[in-house]
Amino acid sequence: MTYPERALDFFHQGYNCAQSVLAAFADDLELTVPAALKLSSGFGAGIGRMRGVCGAFSALAMVAGFVRGNTTPDLDDKEAIFSLIRSLAAEFEQAHGSLICRDLLHLGNDVQESARPQARTAAYYASRPCEACIAFCAARGEQLLNRTAY
């Protein structure tokens, strides 16, 4: 199973976008699946369902950090990971139109949603771009792991 397929499998089980991407990489990140699910649980739906930065992209940033992140406070090392994240963000925006969950879902700025997630139904999955965003982020994470890009 490919990383995008794994991520989509988690999503279809009911996990949020961030959980789905990060859990697909759990073994590679030296995490158990439950640890990956817990670690990323608050990042779903644009962090806490506030519809900010896409949760799938947030998980990709975590994968990128594990693969290429800094372990010292060196400014050049920080710049390198920030540059990589900016490059990934530009690709994501090019492919999907925005990095912001609210914009991806065409909700507008005035929408106030509760913290309670929606039930996962066929209509839920069909009405949103989340699957494409999740697959994109998992594919980019796979490229980072395999060093075939970036």
* pTM assigned to the model: 0.96
Q: What's the pLDDT tens digit per position in 30-65?
A: 999 999 999 999 999 999 999 999 999 999 999 999
Distance CA 37, CA 28 (A): 14
What percentage of the chain reaches a pLDDT higher than 70? Answer: 99
Ramachandran region, residue 46 (left: φ > 0; alpha: ψ -120 to 50; beta: rest): left
Q: What is the pLDDT of residue 150?
A: 77
For residue 148, the model assigns a pLDDT of 84
Distances (CA, A) of 54 to 1, 39, 71, 72, 104: 24, 16, 25, 27, 8
Kindly report the average pLDDT of the chain as a whole number. 96
